[in-house]
Chain A
Amino acid sequence: MSCYGASGFCDIRRRLGSRWGRAVLGGLLLLLTLPSLLPLDPYRVDLEAILIAPDAAHWLGTDETGRDLLARLLVGGRATLGIALGATLVAMALGTLVGALAGYRRGVTDALLMRLVDFGLAFPSLFAVLLVASLVPPGPVPLVLVIGATSWMAAARLVRASVRQLHGAVYTEAARSLGASAGRVIRRHHLPNLAGVLVVIGLVQFSRSILAEATVSFLGFGVQPPAPTWGNLLMGAQTSVFTAPWLALAPGLAITLTLTALASLGIGGPPSRLPHLVTDTHHHAHPESAPEDSHHLPLRPAPRLAAPADLAPAAGAARRAAG
């Protein structure tokens, strides 16, 4: 299909459609589906084979009750990625809703919603996740909701900025003057144009959610053992790190490799080819690294290459020229 119009969308489609992009997405899909198809038993206790280092029978070794680490890693990966996927969808839905509303309505609605966003950003999100995780019985569904509910702000900011930009477009004005309702303009005209931005932000959000799940489970407030996730595998590994280091290495590597692969999608290619204007689309630490649409200080020069700005159509062209 030819690509015209919203160049952000073209850019991300080009990146995801490249051989590298397909490899990464395919790998993730495999991680999500494979454990259901393979005859893995992550719970089978084998007291004859406690804390065995990696060998032919147990490729990644066994843990303190003789369970096979490879099986636990694969099943745990499905849990971690599944939770992250769900949380991303929740965050994207919330963020798009809030951002579109704020960008479209402006005025008081906008001001109030953006205060809410600021508040959400100021709140240390891990703290929020821990608080809520301690209130409800731990499990995958609460985790999806909690991580989603504490990470929608970046998407909201970006969608708001894009909607404001699109709002000035002639076709929007035309649609409105023909009597289209706000909902219709947002649904039919804005959202399709936002697709590219949303996909990119979704990818970033996905890596952050993987980290969030791993962190919460590592601290013991996430999915409870014996059910494995990458995070609680690491929690379990910490106690025997001196005697069985392989238990810590494999889950950690799995997380790092997944996140690096996701980050490379944002950069636009295999890690060997770094375009010359790169920055943190894969950033997990500060969700709003570039307050491009900052409403406090309109003159603050927007750092051009920070995550949200990097996603702007113009930057896409720059990257093409560079890469």
Chain B
Amino acid sequence: MIAFLLRRSVELLLTLGVLVLVVFVVLRLAPGGPAQVLLGPDRYTPALEARVNHVLGLDRSLPEQVGRWVRSVFAGELGVSYFHRRPASEVVLERLGATLLLGGLAFALSLAAGVSVGVLAAARQGSRLDRLLSHGAVAVIATPSFWLGIGLILLCSVWLGILPSAGLAPVGREGDLGARLRHLILPVVTMAASHAASLALYTRSAVLSVLASDFVRTARAMGASTRRVLWRHTLSAAAVPIITVAGLTLAHFLEGSIVVETVFGWPGIGQLTTASVARRDYPVLLVISLWAGIVVVTANLMADLLTRWMDPRTVEE
């Protein structure tokens, strides 16, 4: 177990290192660096650009820049945001809470909704309910999240007028828990929808394939109730592939946050990403990619560990 953890950790650290390095190099190869954005079209002169680049260290050779950056990372320095003029890690950390709140709730919702809908559809396989749920899921997957978001805003904010359309909380009432919760509903649902739908389809097929197996028939023959067969025997056997998929999905909530935060004006990492890309704020982008890498890598590791715990057969390699 410990050997497995160690080996995976080394692998994951390597992946993380390569990822950040790639981002670093790609950003440096960009035509039109941050100097142009920082100076703006009015003040821009080639001489000033050269000075800005010199101050930011962008005029050095690529290997030198990489070396300096790696050394500073090991010293605990992640660079200073060009735009905010503050440590990039601070800028990202400020936004992290909002994104984690949104992503965490959306992940929990998609897991709960996806698995229950999937089990329900499988239990009633072939029925009208099954068809409704399955087709519904296919349709939801085919709906881009930003359009779903706009549609929900139209429905709930514009026509029904029951939910707020954007932001964290109404201005001046940030402490109002009810208001904050109401602001969460639409973004969370938007973010969770497609993941819930794909998880539902996935759960449905995993459960169906387990339902066809011998031990389920045996359990039934021994008089176990349908509910017991479904939740106790079938779902625990079907859990392994579901967990694998859910783990991979977690990583994709990162991408979801970019879109959903843009639609709902949610001040998190996603918005920071698009803004920083536009501003060429390299240090912030590097911290974000580091953070994204950590999330992806941890999610995969967790899924692996859970799988091993749920299904001992996967331990022998």
Contact = CB atoms under 8 A, between A and B. Distances in A.
Interface of A: 118-119, 122-127, 130-132, 134-136, 207, 211, 214-215, 218-221, 234, 237-238, 241-242, 245, 248-249, 251-252, 255-257, 259-260, 262-264, 267, 271, 274, 276-280, 282-286, 288-291, 296-306
Interface stretch (B38-46, B80-88, B139-147): B139-147
A279 to B, nearest CB: 4
A91 to B, nearest CB: 17
Contacts, number: 202
Please tell me the size bucket of the interface on B. Answer: 35 or more
B143 A132 contact: no
Given A214-B144, A219-B259, A301-B241, A245 B158 contact: yes
B255 A125 contact: yes
Contacts of B259: 126, 215, 218-219
B146 A215 contact: yes
Interface stretch (B22-30, B57-65, B176-184, B215-223): B22-30
A285 B150 contact: no
A323 to B, nearest CB: 13
Contacts of B285: 131
A189 B27 CA distance: 42
Contacts of A124: 251-252, 254-255, 292, 296
Nearest to B313: A299
Contacts of A131: 23, 26-27, 277, 285
A274 to B, nearest CB: 5
Contacts of A136: 31
Contact of B317 (A218, A260, A298): A298
Given A259-B142, A279-B202, A279-B205, 8 more contacts: A134-B280, A259-B143, A271-B135, A276-B208, A277-B205, A283-B198, A301-B311, A306-B241
Between A211, A256, A286, A290, the greatest number of chain B beta carbons within 10 A of the residue's beta carbon is seen for A286
B225 interface: no
Contacts of B311: 300-301
A277 B205 CA distance: 6
B254 A263 contact: no
A28 B23 CA distance: 36
B53 interface: no
B26 A276 contact: no
Contacts of B317: 296-299
A252 B140 CA distance: 12
B31 to A, nearest CB: 7
A302 B244 CA distance: 10
Given A256-B139, A283-B198, A297-B314, A122 B150 contact: no
A127 B314 contact: no
Interface in B259-317: 259, 262-263, 273-274, 277-278, 280, 285, 289, 292-293, 296-297, 300, 304, 307, 311, 313-314, 316-317
